Copies of this chain bind each other. A is one copy, B any other.
């Protein structure tokens, strides 16, 4: 069975990075993908989807270092859903894309000015070793297994 998500979009804010008690690092960020279409009136409209993304370990470390608000990235991951209850006892559902690979795309800086363009010296982040499945409490958790692809990238001219 296959469960794969591929996104090319921008971060809405800096990644939120945390280190769990077990030492595992996690980074979360919102990522926007937009598409344009013409409405019935022939006007161009833009539709934006905001995706919650989570990356672990090495990917999280790199996220902290390389991902910024506004960064345009290529991301692969899987679609996960968790159920939980809020303090009022309501059933809630959270959907997250658990990233297994991402790549910063060369961004077009606003002309002039010192580009904060981050040349992807970082030869792409991939998750090869899945984090340990912590069967412990509070864990809405979710695991690995099917494993993934690899690949990567770069940028500059010719």
Show the binding face of A for B, using Cβ within 8 Å: 1-10, 12, 20, 22, 24, 26, 28, 32-40, 44-47, 49-51, 54-57, 69-70, 72, 74, 76-81, 90, 93, 95, 97-98, 100-101, 103, 105-111, 114-115, 117, 119, 123-135, 137-158
Contact = CB atoms under 8 A, between A and B. Distances in A.
Contacts of A147: 6-8, 74, 76, 101, 124-126, 128, 149-153
A154 B36 CA distance: 7
Interface on chain A toward B: helix, strand, loop, or mixed SS?
loop
A140 B153 contact: no
A4 B3 contact: no
A131 B139 CA distance: 34
Given A2-B33, A101-B150, A143-B154, 19 more contacts: A1-B32, A3-B150, A5-B79, A5-B151, A6-B148, A26-B156, A35-B124, A35-B144, A35-B151, A36-B154, A37-B145, A54-B154, A56-B154, A130-B152, A137-B157, A143-B155, A146-B148, A148-B149, A149-B151
Counting every copy of the chain, the complex holds: 4
Given A34-B153, A149-B150, A95 B81 contact: yes
B144 A106 contact: no
A153 B98 contact: yes
Contact of A34 (B4, B20, B154): B154
Contact of A101 (B138, B143, B149): B149
12 contacts: A3-B33, A37-B153, A40-B135, A72-B155, A77-B149, A93-B95, A100-B149, A111-B117, A124-B145, A141-B155, A144-B153, A145-B152
